[in-house]
Amino acid sequence: MPKQGLSQVRPLEVNRSMSRSSPPNRPFSSPPDSASIDPDTRNVVHCRKTLLVKCIILALALVSASYLRWRADSTPPPIWEPIDFKLIQERYDKVGWGIKSSEVEALLGPPDLVQTREPEFQYYDDLVTYRPDRYPSGPFWWLKWTDPNDEGKWVAVFFGGDDTVCYVIKKGFQKWNVRLP
């Protein structure tokens, strides 16, 4: 078979009779009927539409979830009204060993001071330091409720690592001085 050279290749024929503004003279073809479409092609189109709908639903769910999360973070915390100290004196006996901090705050209201230091606390801090095996592991902290009319009256609660009461002490009013387990 002889080799074809570049001179034997026919140049591209261009139809210059058509203007650029007129459409080509081809017969108009109508879209195929759904019965004439191949079933495999119909399934592919259906799968693509289903995937598109699922992606839109997922995007809407993500946007909704992020909006709800933003609204939950932007709501201000509830404002606690302090409880009259006479009620705290009456409820002092109900606070005992093993009660959770949320229950104590429900009984006594919001504390005045968190992580406060008083000379009376040193004895209990030493107990925990020298005998850690008797207390739950984790951080320890004090909450204190003070009478707004008399700074010498207060109730303090010592919490252990698992968020439970270890000691309750008071100063300035007549009840037992220390409540032990």
Pairing between β-strand 150-159 and β-strand 165-171 as defined by DSSP bridges? antiparallel
Burial of 42 (0-12, 13-18, 19+ CB in 10 A): exposed
Does the residue 27 lie in any domain?
Answer: no
**175: pLDDT confidence band, cut at 50, 70 and 90?**
low
State how far the Cα of 137 lies from the Cα of 166, in Å rounded to an integer: 12
State how far the Cα of 155 lies from the Cα of 148, in Å rounded to an integer: 12
Dihedral, CA atoms, 43, 45, 48, 53, nearest 10 degrees? -100
Q: 132-143: per-residue pLDDT in tens?
A: 787 777 778 888
What confidence score (pLDDT) does residue 168 get? 87
104 in the same domain as 64: no
**129: pLDDT confidence band, cut at 50, 70 and 90?**
confident
171 in the same domain as 106: yes
pLDDT at residue 177 tops 50: no
Does the residue 113 lie in any domain?
Answer: yes
Report the chain's terminal Cα–Cα distance, integer Å: 109
C-beta atoms surrounding 100 within 10 Å: 13
If one counts the domains in the chain, the total is: 2
What mean pLDDT is predicted for residues 115-134?
81
Percentage, residues of the chain above pLDDT 70: 64
State how far the Cα of 166 lies from the Cα of 99, in Å rounded to an integer: 9
**56: pLDDT confidence band, cut at 50, 70 and 90?**
very high
pLDDT at residue 117 tops 90: no
Nearest CA among 140, 143, 137 for reference residue 126? 140
Q: What is the mean pLDDT of the chain?
A: 75
62 in the same domain as 141: no
**93: pLDDT confidence band, cut at 50, 70 and 90?**
confident
Q: 81-91: per-residue pLDDT in tens?
A: 667 888 888 88
CATH number, domain of 161, equals: 3.30.1450.10
- Least confident range from 12-21, 60-69, 73-82, 85-94: namely 12-21
Does the residue 94 lie in any domain?
Answer: yes
State how far the Cα of 70 lies from the Cα of 169, in Å rounded to an integer: 41
What domain range is 55 assigned to? Answer: 41-74
What confidence score (pLDDT) does residue 63 get? 92
State how far the Cα of 181 lies from the Cα of 176, in Å rounded to an integer: 13
Last residue in a domain, options 52, 74, 96: 74
User: What are the backbone dihedrals phi and psi of residue 155, each rounded to the nearest 5 degrees, phi first?
Assistant: -125, 135
55 in the same domain as 89: no
Q: 68-81: per-residue pLDDT in tens?
A: 888 777 666 666 66
pTM (whole model) above 0.85: no
Does the residue 13 lie in any domain?
Answer: no
Percentage, residues of the chain above pLDDT 90: 6
Which 8-state DSSP code applies to residue 141? E
163 in the same domain as 127: yes
